[in-house]
Structure 1
């Protein structure tokens, strides 16, 4: 017995000694030119099958046995750096990567998108590189990340002149859009033609289409995580551009070199300046423009602490003389504190403010009408990343958001003023705890598992209703200030696994449950800024989605090409649609105007991407179906969701002709949206009325378009001044895609119904000038 005990103690001592012989290498990876941290930089231990990547703040940590290693640090767009490191204790190794230099004799263009890894467990994720986004031809030459992501499979454009996008069968409000962690509720300018994101100050764009990591929540379909540049802490710089519709200017530089920096960026459109060309030049009451203002500062407080402060202010203004005015916009602010507890534990604490509102002014003789609505969030988020060892990387934390929703305030003044209509404010408190572990079980098998516990507390004051099946209010309950109305609790498990078949291919599978408590309600054909955001109530329950995904991933020809095939199935509960003839704007008991039911979406996505060489780009194809089943709509049968499209194709190509000229093109095709058209007509009091049967039972015509672009680098001058001219032709072959289809009676024969198709754009050329020094 004593010998057995001695043997066990010896094994334990040997294990402890062996464990003590492992040490952690950590640090921060930055750029040499600007001093900004690099997201997703690769850390490869040569001769080993393990490594890691830097997090969203450039921090990395890897645990290795005691010994000497050759370690290569690399990132897209930067020269790689190899360090020989002797690891005989925990070591901090900060790395500076120089910008990649391309010669005229050997032009090589890196991928537009940071390549997905074969072994990583995350599915349905895409990373956009802004250098390539800026070469994609866009409407009127405006560089736009929202339009760029809609060229990826599984992400569908909501159409010309329409804000929002659809991801894997979800509606536009089921996408979480973040700017430096702040929620952006409406990410569009000029009624959806352009996005709120100024591409010149965007550092990184990540899109999660499938099982999003547990630190994200509150939406069913996707996450679009946009991060702003930090500002150059090495030298001052100015950049900007001017195009047909807008101009922008960016200024950045060090506050204290190597320790702090600032970034300020402004953009304004000037379409309103051309309005007199098309009308009375004396009319100065008509306005049509948008503006953006971004600002960011960061401070290195010490070796282990860094502070960030960023903000965004954007607004659209549409005014027709003194008769009608509409303005809407976002305000966000984010204060973040990074702290490195030790070589394995990194934390980020964020305090976030977000506000979206719109204001409508209508002037009639003797009366002025004003309509105001807003949604305001105050958010506290804490996240800890713990690199527990060679096989485990954990994320855990909490998120707490206080929502205030003002659904509508309609007031009037004047000699013939009407009674004011003030819809009551709604208050809610959304909380979540989350934890995730990425576990490297072996060289081939990796597993990520996590859990998000969410709660949504509806808080007084306010009146809350009971509604029967016909939409009639049967009872009203009044709650006092701060009184709890209802609290919804949900467990949201996340599971993802990858199995490496060989050095160039793998298979992955994932499951995730997501919940959503903020809902966008609209009964219009297109999404507009005045669509109504509402929170869950005692009747409107949280939307729930269970998402299953499986995929095959293959790298070809020395990793020059990537082939990705993913399939998904999404089951949705508590889906919201409006009753026929619903009034969702002036009804305080919004629950009486809505119906809820179930939904399903499924499909396959194919993506072939070329990442290297003079010619880069991708071909994406999506085959999908999205349906809803709600009692009270289409006799309770399955019907097409508005965003249902069978086929969606995008081809994107970028060719570096030489160091001076870059050529680009993209072609898109998709099945027409599901719409509700009249099935017949009848006469009431000598007036024609259309008869509608099935909702979303018809289709718009198929949409397709070719865009062409070219960028010419102008001669570089002294003191680092560089500039370029960008040319583009939107809808190059003049396809008249249908924006809206209406029905009217023929003037020649009232018994004949005419179909009228309205198109927006045909042959839209543009040129813009961009500079930097």
Structure 2
């Protein structure tokens, strides 16, 4: 019955549209008188009373006012008259009028073409008198979003005659070196219309591009950006970039769009299970990933134990994942870098967007503080999920509570053409309570300030200051067992970066950075009524991490490009603090402590340093394919201490110190990239091998919470990971998406002369997050402008576990379990299907609020995927499934 009703509504809607648009646009007559009336308002009145729609950018006509009387004027005559002095032309397709900026006449348009022709006139760059010797010159400028003046990072500029080009940096700035002469230059970016200009280059000069978002409203013509071939032409191996459109197009759990869950669909990226915080990259742990948002570190990127991520998708501009060390301007982690940049606010107009869902809602507001100079963007999210828990037929869950909120603020100020200031702030808070038991909470506060400066067309710089803190708390504030357990990490950093383009074939980046850390591993305070618990405070630690780097991206010839660089890092663990000295001939434990050395405040306790070379090669095998090779060395000086497979609220961060050495990662990869059908289809196969020194694990029965001799329960070993990643991606057409498959192995090795400090008899064993087979299918079908279907299917091997293989009785103890070696068995395999349907409202220009409804179903066939398997005292196995049901949701997203 529901399907019949929907079909009837669609039939009636389509029929109404056909009837309304039966009248030809040539028959539309304008007979009205206007007195100092804005053109936008006039267009709105015409649309409301006549079968025509206008498409334009508001800033083109926002200052045009009409004072004139028209009698029996055809619409085309009316348009010719009011636009003749405005350098605005138009195209008519069916009952649509498209305004065009510039001197493009309607006669020049070819309706069957997919690209609009450009003006025949050449735009002059520079002055010939400034270049009397006819030397090579530099053309540079910015590529920005024409709607909000936001810089476009990674946009491509291409000169047709020389077949050379450039890519914009983090400021949206590009530069190309050319001999004086006439050229055709193109600028394009994913999701934006390509812009082509004819230029006459005479000396050094500036050429800025303002790109508009893709237009797909018309049936007879489709304006698209240049097919992206960054996967072929880009030098960096192991780099993945997700557009926000792709992220928003995926089915969402309970309607909340998620950046982290989106990158988990990529080859080489996985998670240990549902409800698990963080992600694993190429066999690395969660704590081996560096997560950045506007240059500030995010230590825990999860809400509600991993069901939602900390990144508000409505604010995100750019998401880049480096599966390895990445370029040498990044450091501090051995597995991956996730760099998230948020949008700058609109400098021209006030806008808002948000969404209302079953368990959370969000709102983003942006606009100018001083038009075309200063802008703001502010956004927030909040959950109200307790009402769902109250309706679940489980007494413990009905007494539980789960809540979160987060907020972002960003202010962007153009001081002048060469200086820009950006302030970013982020705060998040989570609180979870199960039944009437303990409450868990974690909180992040980050602030950053960035100053960007342009010295000239060759040299740019940026200085970033940041401060961040991550604190978690576990507490029970009732009864005689009340307590509060806290831990935290704080960092204050400064980073100076320079971008230098000495030649057209060289792009040099260099800079320095320094970060001061403060670690609080644990602080236990008893409640007022608790007289049985003694307070415990594990000593704090202070450390300073510094780095200096240089990178050069060099195009050797039209086939070979290379990115090579070097980073040098220095880490200093300083006092105040105590270091225990253990008996070197016996395993470390509290009973083998021989002495204690005290270090005063600021005194150096231990320092580590080393070089981190990075190199990536690209060899073009034709226009549509390339071969890439990379080697990265990275050093990680901070460590996530956790005795669980996934991140938990009681986990804490620990500094490298006298006993805890930094992790050192070496990764080699080689990949073949091939595109088909004008880059509409992308394919790639990448092989990698990674070796990590000084990884940590725990002795059997180790205690990590409030442990003043933590080093005695930690073991130092090595790790290795290797695998192959396959990606097939379709970027164009009504059907888009990708299929990713990964085969990988992640293993650990802990050897020692002391049997107590060995794991698995000193042989390799699978890491907790080792999942050899991982398959993901993402499918999007855009049936029309208003109707879209998305699906996501994932399958992976079950993760390793340690199980009891036998049991025996001893004295009065009837059952003593004898466990296997570490991680020798696996839980059942994981698979899940998600679906979503998006229904957008009409796209009339004069509509104040534009909205869409998103209907999604998470875990369509209700599989009870096991998160873990545990055993009771008798060795009986029990399966724990975090989500074992179908989760439907509905969300309303809106823009105004």
TM range (shorter): over 0.9
Distance 1:124 1:676, change over 3 A: same
Alignment partner of 1:502: what SS?
A: coil
Distance 1:46 1:384, change over 3 A: same
When structure 1 is superposed on structure 2, of 139-148 and 675-684 the one drifting more is 675-684
Partner of 2:40: none
Q: Of 610, 615, 638, which aligns to 2:764?
A: 638
1:698-753, CA deviations, whole angstroms, 9 ceiling, x for partnerless residues? Answer: 111110111111100012453442100001111112222112212236xxxx7x83
Partner of 1:456: 571
Please say if residues 193 and 223 of structure 2, whose CA atoms lie closer than 8 Å, have aligned partners that are also in contact: no
1:202-226, CA deviations, whole angstroms, 9 ceiling, x for partnerless residues? Answer: 0000001134100001000111000
CA distance in 1, matches of 2:356, 2:227: 26
CA distance in 1, matches of 2:347, 2:689: 46
Please say if residues 488 and 652 of structure 2, whose CA atoms lie closer than 8 Å, have aligned partners that are also in contact: no
Higher relative contact order (CA 8 A, sep 6+): 1
Alignment partner of 1:627: what SS?
A: strand
Please say if residues 771 and 798 of structure 2, whose CA atoms lie closer than 8 Å, have aligned partners that are also in contact: yes
Please say if residues 802 and 823 of structure 2, whose CA atoms lie closer than 8 Å, have aligned partners that are also in contact: yes
**1:728 paired to 2:856:** yes
1:158-201, CA deviations, whole angstroms, 9 ceiling, x for partnerless residues? Answer: 21010011100111111110000111000000011110111010
Q: Of 584, 588, 593, which aligns to 1:471?
A: 588
CA distance in 2, matches of 1:114, 1:690: 58
Q: Of 691, 699, 702, which aligns to 2:818?
A: 691
Partner of 2:892: 769
Partner of 2:376: 262
CA distance in 1, matches of 2:393, 2:312: 31
> When the two structures are superposed, what TM-score results if normalisation uses the length of structure 2?
0.81
**1:704 paired to 2:818:** no
Distance 1:78 1:710, change over 3 A: same
Distance 1:457 1:107, change over 3 A: farther
Partner of 1:602: 722
CA distance in 1, matches of 2:809, 2:420: 71
CA distance in 1, matches of 2:601, 2:655: 17
Alignment partner of 1:147: what SS?
A: helix
Partner of 1:4: none
**1:427 paired to 2:542:** yes
Q: Note the C-alpha offset of 1:116.
A: 2.7
When structure 1 is superposed on structure 2, of 603-612 and 105-114 the one drifting more is 105-114
Distance 1:356 1:242, change over 3 A: same
Q: Of 599, 615, 625, which aligns to 1:505?
A: 625
Distance 1:364 1:470, change over 3 A: farther
Partner of 1:379: 493
CA distance in 2, matches of 1:411, 1:250: 39
1:505-557, CA deviations, whole angstroms, 9 ceiling, x for partnerless residues? Answer: 11111111001011112122432122121110111111001110111111112
Please say if residues 402 and 428 of structure 1, whose CA atoms lie closer than 8 Å, have aligned partners that are also in contact: yes
When structure 1 is superposed on structure 2, of 142-151 and 325-334 the one drifting more is 325-334
CA distance in 2, matches of 1:109, 1:98: 10
Q: Note the C-alpha offset of 1:132.
A: 1.9
Distance 1:355 1:757, change over 3 A: closer
Please say if residues 112 and 617 of structure 1, whose CA atoms lie closer than 8 Å, have aligned partners that are also in contact: no
**1:556 paired to 2:668:** no
Distance 1:114 1:767, change over 3 A: farther
Q: Of 734, 737, 760, which aligns to 2:883?
A: 760
Distance 1:63 1:444, change over 3 A: same
Q: Of 779, 782, 796, which aligns to 1:670?
A: 796
Larger Rg: 2
The size of the alignment, in residue pairs, is: 751
Q: Note the C-alpha offset of 1:63.
A: 1.5
Partner of 2:558: 443
CA distance in 2, matches of 1:764, 1:110: 36
Q: Note the C-alpha offset of 1:571.
A: 1.1
Alignment partner of 2:687: what SS?
A: strand
CA distance in 2, matches of 1:112, 1:227: 23
CA distance in 2, matches of 1:31, 1:233: 11
Please say if residues 278 and 646 of structure 2, whose CA atoms lie closer than 8 Å, have aligned partners that are also in contact: no
Distance 1:320 1:508, change over 3 A: closer
Q: Of 708, 711, 718, which aligns to 1:588?
A: 708
Q: Note the C-alpha offset of 1:321.
A: 7.9
Q: Of 303, 311, 316, which aligns to 1:197?
A: 311
1:548-601, CA deviations, whole angstroms, 9 ceiling, x for partnerless residues? Answer: 011111111221111111100101111111111101112112111100111111
Q: Of 296, 300, 322, which aligns to 1:186?
A: 300
Q: Note the C-alpha offset of 1:415.
A: 4.4
Alignment partner of 1:57: what SS?
A: coil
CA distance in 1, matches of 2:697, 2:221: 53
CA distance in 2, matches of 1:478, 1:288: 43
Q: Of 193, 196, 209, which aligns to 1:79?
A: 193
Please say if residues 113 and 127 of structure 1, whose CA atoms lie closer than 8 Å, have aligned partners that are also in contact: no
CA distance in 2, matches of 1:687, 1:115: 66
Partner of 2:805: 679
Partner of 1:7: none
1:361-414, CA deviations, whole angstroms, 9 ceiling, x for partnerless residues? Answer: 223533531111100000100000001111110000011000000001001132
Please say if residues 465 and 475 of structure 1, whose CA atoms lie closer than 8 Å, have aligned partners that are also in contact: yes
When structure 1 is superposed on structure 2, of 475-484 and 298-307 the one drifting more is 475-484
CA distance in 2, matches of 1:442, 1:608: 29
**1:624 paired to 2:741:** no
Partner of 2:122: none
1:343-364, CA deviations, whole angstroms, 9 ceiling, x for partnerless residues? Answer: 0111111001111111122235
1:216-269, CA deviations, whole angstroms, 9 ceiling, x for partnerless residues? Answer: 010001110000010111100111101111001111000111111000101001
Please say if residues 109 and 656 of structure 1, whose CA atoms lie closer than 8 Å, have aligned partners that are also in contact: no
CA distance in 1, matches of 2:367, 2:705: 47
CA distance in 2, matches of 1:557, 1:605: 22
Distance 1:63 1:465, change over 3 A: farther
Q: Note the C-alpha offset of 1:475.
A: 3.1
Q: Which ranges in structure 2 are unaligned for 5 or more consecutive residues?
A: 1-130, 752-757
> When the two structures are superposed, what TM-score results if normalisation uses the length of structure 1?
0.94
Please say if residues 227 and 680 of structure 2, whose CA atoms lie closer than 8 Å, have aligned partners that are also in contact: no
When structure 1 is superposed on structure 2, of 115-124 and 178-187 the one drifting more is 115-124
Partner of 1:578: 698
Alignment partner of 1:139: what SS?
A: coil
CA distance in 1, matches of 2:255, 2:739: 22
Q: Of 642, 645, 648, which aligns to 1:528?
A: 648
Q: Note the C-alpha offset of 1:761.
A: 3.2
**1:336 paired to 2:450:** yes
1:435-481, CA deviations, whole angstroms, 9 ceiling, x for partnerless residues? Answer: 00011111111111100000100000001223455222343211000
Q: Of 652, 655, 663, which aligns to 2:781?
A: 655
Distance 1:758 1:100, change over 3 A: closer
Distance 1:558 1:367, change over 3 A: closer
CA distance in 2, matches of 1:107, 1:737: 47
Distance 1:614 1:221, change over 3 A: same
CA distance in 2, matches of 1:89, 1:716: 45
Q: Note the C-alpha offset of 1:57.
A: 1.8
Please say if residues 113 and 128 of structure 1, whose CA atoms lie closer than 8 Å, have aligned partners that are also in contact: no
Superposed CA RMSD: 2.2
Partner of 2:416: 302
Distance 1:731 1:449, change over 3 A: same
CA distance in 2, matches of 1:108, 1:725: 25
When structure 1 is superposed on structure 2, of 754-763 and 403-412 the one drifting more is 754-763
**1:713 paired to 2:840:** yes
Q: Note the C-alpha offset of 1:112.
A: 14
When structure 1 is superposed on structure 2, of 610-619 and 716-725 the one drifting more is 716-725
Q: Note the C-alpha offset of 1:660.
A: 1.1
Partner of 1:10: none
